[in-house]
Amino acid sequence: MDHHLNPIPRLFFLNSAENTFRKCIACERDLYLGDCDYVIEKAIRRFPEIDASEVIFEYAICTDCAGKARQKLSEESRQRIDELLHSEKVKENSLSILAQATLQNGDATGICMLTGNAIDDCEEYQIYAYCRGTSLSLNSNAFMLSGKAMEIIAELLSEETKDELDRFRDTFFGLPPELEDIINSRDLIML
Ligand SMILES: [Zn+2]
């Protein structure tokens, strides 16, 4: 059994920093202590014509807080997301995703888990990594969902769940109203 821990891929580092998030966005616990798993979620928009990209939002949340937040989503929405993530389409992509992860120390962000599209073909995408301390969690791979995949998932969400995600966004991002369209709460899926 191989207990080698993969480092967190650079794509998850904070802009122009040599490290990742140190605090849970909700309970502010110190994630570097390594006493809990946490998820880093980051949404990126690319501008291929000018070879640039911008971070739309990024945060880390410990699995305790993510679990609590997820409990607030409607049962129906949670079920639909689960079904989608266990669908044939995702299974079909899983071989190429696993192959990539094996070659790249657990970094499978190059291919959308749901649509199979390459990251270079996505104008918008979100990346996820389950981490512990300063490494990826044991046996977990960083993965990517394209903008198209986020649209597919958003269509599955109930009104109740969309309201709950709005509350999450308002609580933790505290955005002025004119910026609300930039961080679309439906993009915060909390897988
Ligand atoms: Zn927390």
Q: In this model, does residue 149 exceed pLDDT 70?
A: yes
pLDDT of residue 1: 46
Distance 184 CA to ligand 1 centre (A): 22
Residues 143, 113 contacting (CB under 8 angstroms): yes
Residue 10's nearest CA partner among 142, 170, 161, 156 is: 142
d(CA 189, CA 50): 29
Distance 27 CA to ligand 1 centre (A): 4
d(CA 178, CA 25): 22
Distance 43 CA to ligand 1 centre (A): 20
Per residue in 119-134, pLDDT (tens digit) is: 999 999 999 999 999 9
Per residue in 66-108, pLDDT (tens digit) is: 998 888 888 998 899 889 888 888 888 988 888 999 999 999 9
**What is the signed CA dihedral for 50, 147, 114, 158, rounded to 10 degrees?**
170
What is the average pLDDT value for the chain, to the nearest integer?
A: 87
Q: In this model, does residue 5 exceed pLDDT 70?
A: yes
Residues 12, 40 contacting (CB under 8 angstroms): yes
